[in-house]
Amino acid sequence: MKNFCGRTNPTTGALDWVEESEEYDYHQEIARSCYADMLHDHDRNEKYYQGIRAAVARVQARGEKVIVLDIGTGTGLLSMMAVTAGADFCYAVEVFKPMADAARCIVAKNGFADKIKIIDKHSTDITVGPGEDMEVKANVLVTELFDTELIGEGALPSYEHAHQSLVQDGCEAVPHRATVYAQLVESPLLWSWAQLQPVEVDGTRLSPPPAVGHCSGAHSVCDIQLSQVSPRSFTLLGPLCTMFSVDFSKPVSSAPQSYSSHFVAQMNGQAQVVLSWWELDMDPSGAVVCTMAPSWTYPQPKMAPWRDHWMQSVYFLPGESKVTEGQELTLTVYHDDYSLWYRLQSPSQQHPRGDLLLSRPCCVCQAHLVWTRPRFGELNDKLRTESYVSALRSVLKEDSVCLGVSDGSLLPVFAHVLGAKKVFSLENSRMSKQVIEQVLESNSMRGGVELLEIRPEQLTNNDLGGEQISVLMGEPHFSTSLLPWHALFFWYCRTALAGFLRPDATILPCSATLHMVAVEFQDLWRIRAPCGICEGFDVTPMDEMVQKSLDFRESREAEPHPLWEYPCRALSQSATVMTFDFTQCVPQQPIIRRGSLPFIRSGCCHGVALWLEYHLTQDVSVSTGLTGPIDEQGHCEWSRHRKQGVYFLRSGWQSSGDGRAAVSYDITFQPASGDIKMDFSVEQSQTVGGTL
């Protein structure tokens, strides 16, 4: 049976009706989850298993039957661990029905169906009693309800209800305790993701709107692989603070709380950012600890476990403030039932009830709703700005009429400063338009750029005041883009606007090129690899249906990843495999490229990284992928501003690096749909090379 799904095409901008099989959404939901990554987290699995065995043993030592409640069971792994450890019965709760169905299959396939009951409800909807969801209350509570922020998946309300209704008083809990840590730092790099900074354009200083500078920013946590942020990128202003702990074996409250840590500043600097992570004590003694601390906190950083489902958190203070060495400071963390936020104070600023009354910060300037944190970083990248300004300067004339096509871009502002006769800009949303209006107003340029809240195909001569466009410009950046080539939407816009362009109009960028390189990932390969659980625990972790879900995705398309967070080595040269000529309209015929890239370094090829490079002019280019040459060892430096495309091979290929093997590619750009279809494989060959 087929279903029709309406989707906005991020490349063409059109609304597409896509025919999908009835089971498509099921496969995609599971494939795009983090279940494989969690199953690959051996450190997590081993420590959960140790904690579960110890908890079961403590209940058995009291002469009681062991009844386990597993909230958020996922694949059923922790429930199977509990039964293997000697539990008499386990109630496994999974609200996501497709995953609950998969867990039933997995549990049955491993012979645990008689001792594990899968309940596909939210835990707060479960009833207890004869004939109900649970016959009796549990005396062991096992959960994996945590996200990078610890409580973002609703852990506190779930624990609160469980203690009120689902578990016995004095129950054992695995994990037993969670502790949140934080450290105050100065970091121009990280701060550039939170606030728009002044920009110099040909001697004119463009200042950010005051409302943006005074705004608390987006309320959502910034979760990243903090291990990939070099300690050289920040200055520690205070010690690592223990902010608060939650004992999961006792009643838990989801009510708003605040906790403070008092310390003395260790350095002079600008307090801007709080780095935070948490750890789990799997047993009451604290002997079994699962920590999320970044690798640079370890005596041997390479020994730090890698995981992607739990990372570290970056919190931006409402505003930066100067601190001096020896100054007494108070760092306060606040939380509601789903999120955390921080505030820095000196003792003189504190007041008795202020902490509990402070509400969660939220964006009031709209910029933090329009621009993502990587986008803030992109707008604050001085070298990148210089490239665009240099390119604009080379093409603008006194009579230039410019039209900008990008979401929330400063290029139209730059064009006005550089002396263009008239500047228009198409904005995709009212909010985006209002943010750019704030930028113009704060720099006394309100009439310098005319912002049009319309789509390219809706543009009329009246909108342009009868002018013909001499410079069509874009970064390109669009909020709907996920994969690098989604930004080819600029090409479709250029095509829709062809009738408004002068015959000699300049298109900036004039072209884009698709690049690829075969890579060996340090860790990212784990999210698509077969799973092994942990020492001493042997089950079939995923049934054929779940494995099919993972294969379904990896064999058909690339997926977006910020590769600066996921180190990799290049095993081949990087190569240009396709060119998109923006000086011409989108062609009607597909663009097809086939060829191969020889392996020039030894290693295990896990897949291919892909990105676009924009050629603003013949002399100026901007990369959304590699930001420098690949070194002799194959080390790659990736742009922090955009996600790259990653196509995972079905299995890793061990390369000797002698050039006898290569990764072959077959890439087709379909103009009608805007899709780029691709297929990669490894072949043995004496002679390899690219073909058109």
- Note the pLDDT of residue 9: 87
In eight-state DSSP terms, residue 22 is T
pLDDT, average across residues 306-329:
95
Q: Are residues 568 and 610 in the same domain?
A: yes
Q: For tokens 């409640």, name the residue.
A: 69
In a domain? residue 629: yes
In a domain? residue 152: no
d(CA 273, CA 276): 10
- Note the pLDDT of residue 691: 34
Question: DSSP per residue over 423-444, as a string?
Answer: EEEE-SSHHHHHHHHHHHHHTT
17 is written with which tokens? 């009706």
Active site residue 153: yes
In a domain? residue 170: no
What is the tens place of the pLDDT at every residue in 175-203? Answer: 999 999 999 999 999 999 999 999 999 99
358 is written with which tokens? 């402070």
> In 3D, which of 608, 45, 553, 95 has the Cα closest to residue 310?
45
Q: Are residues 206 and 320 in the same domain?
A: yes
SS3 199: strand
- Note the pLDDT of residue 650: 87
pLDDT, average across residues 17-32:
51
- Note the pLDDT of residue 128: 97
Domains contained in the chain, number = 5
Question: Domain holding 113: CATH number?
Answer: 3.40.50.150
Q: Which percentage of the chain shows pLDDT scores above 90?
A: 81
**Catalytically annotated residue among 94, 144, 149, 160:** 144
What is the tens place of the pLDDT at every residue in 160-179? Answer: 999 999 999 999 999 999 99
**Count of CB atoms situated within 10 Å of the CB of 353:** 7
Q: Name 492's Cβ contacts closer than 8 Å, sequence gap at least 6.
A: 11, 12, 13, 456, 586, 674
User: Where would I find the beta strands (DSSP E) of 51-166?
Assistant: 67-71, 89-93, 116-119, 138-143
Q: Band the pLDDT of 530: cuts 50, 70, 90.
A: low
Cis previous bond, 175, omega within 30: yes
Is residue 323 scored above 50 in pLDDT? yes
Q: Which residues form the domain of 647?
A: 511-684
Q: Are residues 544 and 473 in the same domain?
A: no
Q: Are residues 140 and 185 in the same domain?
A: no
Q: Are residues 558 and 631 in the same domain?
A: yes
CA 324 to chain centre: 34
Indicate the burial class of 544 (C-beta count within 10 angstroms; 0-12, 13-18, 19 or more): exposed
Q: Are residues 339 and 430 in the same domain?
A: no
Of 450, 484, 508, the last residue of a domain is 508
Q: Band the pLDDT of 274: cuts 50, 70, 90.
A: very high
Q: Band the pLDDT of 664: cuts 50, 70, 90.
A: very high
Q: Are residues 46 and 105 in the same domain?
A: yes
d(CA 317, CA 215): 10
**Catalytically annotated residue among 19, 20, 29, 153:** 153
In a domain? residue 242: yes
- Note the pLDDT of residue 14: 79
In a domain? residue 187: yes
- Note the pLDDT of residue 629: 96
Question: Domain holding 580: CATH number?
Answer: 2.70.160.11
Average pLDDT, the chain: 91
In eight-state DSSP terms, residue 63 is T
In the beta sheet, which residues pair with residue 485? Answer: none
What is the tens place of the pLDDT at every residue in 137-149? Answer: 999 999 999 999 9
CA 123 to chain centre: 28
- Note the pLDDT of residue 517: 98
Q: Does 492 or 18 have the greater pLDDT score?
A: 492
In a domain? residue 532: yes
What is the tens place of the pLDDT at every residue in 622-644? Answer: 999 999 999 999 999 999 999 99
Q: Band the pLDDT of 6: cuts 50, 70, 90.
A: low
Q: Are residues 343 and 386 in the same domain?
A: no
d(CA 180, CA 149): 9
- Note the pLDDT of residue 16: 65
Is residue 19 scored above 70 in pLDDT? no
What is the tens place of the pLDDT at every residue in 576-585? Answer: 999 999 999 9
- Note the pLDDT of residue 222: 94
Of 508, 540, 564, the last residue of a domain is 508
Q: Does 31 or 81 have the greater pLDDT score?
A: 81
In a domain? residue 50: yes
What is the tens place of the pLDDT at every residue in 409-460? Answer: 999 999 999 999 999 999 989 999 999 999 999 999 988 999 999 999 999 9
pLDDT, average across residues 308-334:
95
Is residue 21 scored above 60 in pLDDT? no
What is the tens place of the pLDDT at every residue in 29-54? Answer: 454 455 667 778 899 999 999 999 99
What is the tens place of the pLDDT at every residue in 352-364? Answer: 444 545 778 889 9
**SS3 string of 499-559?**
HHEEEEEEEECCEEEEEEEEEEECCHHHHHCCCCCECCECCCCCCHHHHHHHHHHHCCCCE
What is the tens place of the pLDDT at every residue in 669-679? Answer: 999 999 999 99
Is residue 481 scored above 50 in pLDDT? yes
Active site residue 632: no
pLDDT, average across residues 273-277:
98
620 is written with which tokens? 């100026």
d(CA 276, CA 358): 20
Is residue 660 scored above 70 in pLDDT? yes
- Note the pLDDT of residue 31: 45
Q: Are residues 120 and 189 in the same domain?
A: no
In the beta sheet, which residues pair with residue 448? Answer: none
Q: Are residues 550 and 442 in the same domain?
A: no
Question: DSSP per residue over 202-263, as a string?
Answer: TTEEEPPPHHHHT----SS-EEE-GGGS-GGG-EE-SPPEEEEEEETTS----S-EEEEEEE
Q: Are residues 311 and 189 in the same domain?
A: yes
- Note the pLDDT of residue 527: 85
Of 448, 473, 508, the last residue of a domain is 508
In a domain? residue 468: yes
- Note the pLDDT of residue 34: 53
d(CA 430, CA 452): 9
> In 3D, which of 350, 468, 455 has the Cα closest to residue 15?
455
- Note the pLDDT of residue 169: 96
Q: Are residues 543 and 656 in the same domain?
A: yes
| pTM of structure | 0.91
